[in-house]
Amino acid sequence: MSLLKNLSLKFKDAFEQIGVDSSLVIVTTSDRPDLSDYQCNGAMKAAGILKSNPREIAGRIKTILDNDIDFSEVRVDGPGFINVRLSDKYIASQLDGLNSKNISSKEAQQEIIIDYGGPNVAKPLHVGHLRSAVIGEAIKRTARYLGHNVISDIHLGDWGTPMGMLIAELQERHPTWPYFSEDITDFPKESPLTVHDLMELYPQAATHFKEDIAFQEKARKATADLQQGNIGYRALWNHFIKTSITEVKEDFAALNVSFDLWLGESDTNDSVEPMIKELTKRGIATKSQGAVVINVADSEDSYEVPPLILMKQDGGIMYGTTDLATIIQRIKDYKPDHIIYVVDQRQSLHFTQVFRAAEKSGYIDSDRLEHAGFGTVNGPNGKPFKTREGGIMRLRDLIELAKTEVIKTIGFPDDHELTDDEAEMVNKIAIAAIKFGDLSSNRQSDYIFQPTEFVKMEGKTGPYIQYAAVRIKSVLEKAKDQDIEYNDKAELIFNEPAERALALKLLEFPTVLQNSFEARMPHIACEHVFSVAQAFSSFYQSCPILTPLDSSLIQSRLRLSSMAFKQIEVALDNLGIEIPNKMLRFE
């Protein structure tokens, strides 16, 4: 149980003893750490309901809490604020419990599927894929650390109009290819296209599609034919998939992002037709202007929610169709308690339609489906981040840009050739800069990508926190070099305010993790790990770790340092960020 929960129980018990509703109790970290560690404003809420004096109620609560040895001081301030200061012994005991439990908990274990990443086949990963990947990965890792069973699914875009667009473009350029012959059933095993060919072809086909109405019809027909089983198109499409996945895996691996399932829209193809027939038979799906739709509008809607289209007039299916079929598939295969979609918040209407359709069809309650939307990555002009030439920046180019900034900030000479160790260090710092720069922003907000700021060692950045961890590790290694045997059960001593401040900050971690996961807000964890790094820095500056004459104080400070390192390590790992073995000091 977290410290905050323990304190809440103590206050709730005190409120119940004087006959006041304990649901009014909310204990928070004090906003005046010079006065107290924690505070409760419940007396003022109770006074409003009971028509009583808040200071009188707070005084009665104080009388009860004064008998609790876990508090070194209980005071009533202002109109009725109850402020408490914890005893050093209680803080130490809570840290002992925190360390032994390793913070994770198996309580209320859930089966969760997280859908994130979502790249389209034949398109390179670009800056627009960054947020889904890193936010989804952080939510997944945190959920697993808290004890939940989590399955991550990349959900490839591999079955819509873009596939027909590519096929139609290739058919116009290479009409003699065997994939376009009605008489050939045996196709080459090797792809006629490299990943670079595909990435050049896609934007050209997209431009063709926008500018040529006749080509639009060809692409739509090719899409429908592909979905309905044209064997030549299927063979060519399989080449698209295999070629693209190799590239996508490399790009996501560079970000320290991984998936359990590499399924796509196409994996539901065999179940789509039976689903549409079944929903039509039940009257859930109806015909509308030649299309098959599910009406998902609600009389209480404050905006228009169009029907979910399951099948177009030409027999083609939509993203909503495969998303609904995917929900059915996931329920059948994994029986999830919750499915979380980490997708751009501009898709909120789409997910409203799909979730309502799933509930209306009786597949799953919509409150078990969640769209964790996010804002965009912008450039200094406040618009979506682009290359200097005005194009969309590829994800691997973004990583190279961050690496260049790291090298520049460290101050390597222009002609310096990085050793393997230096290259590994630069890469880990660059990835930390990118990921922490993203994750430290509220996911619902847009943010400005600033590589020169993100790589700095000072301020709220990934490299700053990495450096704090490396410095702690260096202290612990120095102790070994000096033959100081570290005792992980040493008594914790709080002689200095900085020792106590660091200990209290470490105790916030379980609550932070839970809040971060429940809100699907990794920035909450980012704020905490940054504050731990700051608290350690203050502790390091004011509390000599290896030089005190008192060996018990050395052991206490080494243990506190070790706990700080472990917590930073866990927090960064949950964010998908690695700690380098060493870091050259930035200028």
> Where residue 570 sits, what CATH number does that domain have?
1.10.730.10
- Does this model's pTM top 0.85? My answer is yes
Spatial contact of 406 and 455, defined as CB atoms under 8 Å apart: yes
Q: Is 442 among the domain residues? A: yes
Q: Is 247 among the domain residues? A: no
Return the pLDDT at 413: 86
Burial class (CB in 10 A: 0-12, 13-18, 19+), 87: middle
Spatial contact of 145 and 352, defined as CB atoms under 8 Å apart: no
Among 86, 107, 139, residue at a domain's last position: 86
Q: Is 171 among the domain residues? A: no
Q: Is 225 among the domain residues? A: no
Beta partners for residue 86, in sequence order: 71
The per-residue b/e assignment along 123-148, b for 16 or more CB within 10 angstroms, e otherwise, is bbbbbbbbbbbbbbbbbbbbbbbbeb
- CATH code, domain carrying 78: 3.30.1360.70
Return the pLDDT at 103: 55
Q: Is 269 among the domain residues? A: no
Could you identify the residue written with the tokens 């599609």? 209
Return the pLDDT at 9: 95
Residue 67 phi/psi, 5-degree rounding, is: -85, -5
For the chain, residues with pLDDT lower than 70 are: 1, 99-107, 387-390, 585-587
Biggest alpha carbon–alpha carbon distance for the chain: 92
The rounded distance, in Å, linking the Cα atoms of 315 and 319 is 13
308-317 confidence digits (pLDDT tens) = 999 988 787 8
Least Cα distance to 528 among 507, 517, 512 occurs for 512
Burial class (CB in 10 A: 0-12, 13-18, 19+), 452: exposed
Least Cα distance to 36 among 62, 14, 64, 57 occurs for 62
Among 86, 101, 132, residue at a domain's last position: 86
How many structural domains comprise the chain? 2
Q: Is 168 among the domain residues? A: no
Return the pLDDT at 133: 97
Return the pLDDT at 476: 94
Return the pLDDT at 164: 95
Q: Is 179 among the domain residues? A: no
Return the pLDDT at 587: 37
Q: Is 228 among the domain residues? A: no
What do you get for the CA distance between the two ends of the chain, in Å? 43
**Structure tokens belonging to residue 456:** 């700095």
Domain extent, residue 551, equals 396-574
H or E element at residue 108: none
Return the pLDDT at 389: 63
How big is the CA angle at 7 (ends 6 and 10), to the nearest 5 degrees? 90
Among 23, 51, 86, residue at a domain's last position: 86
Return the pLDDT at 486: 81
Spatial contact of 572 and 578, defined as CB atoms under 8 Å apart: yes
The rounded distance, in Å, linking the Cα atoms of 198 and 38 is 59
Spatial contact of 406 and 429, defined as CB atoms under 8 Å apart: yes
Return the pLDDT at 48: 83
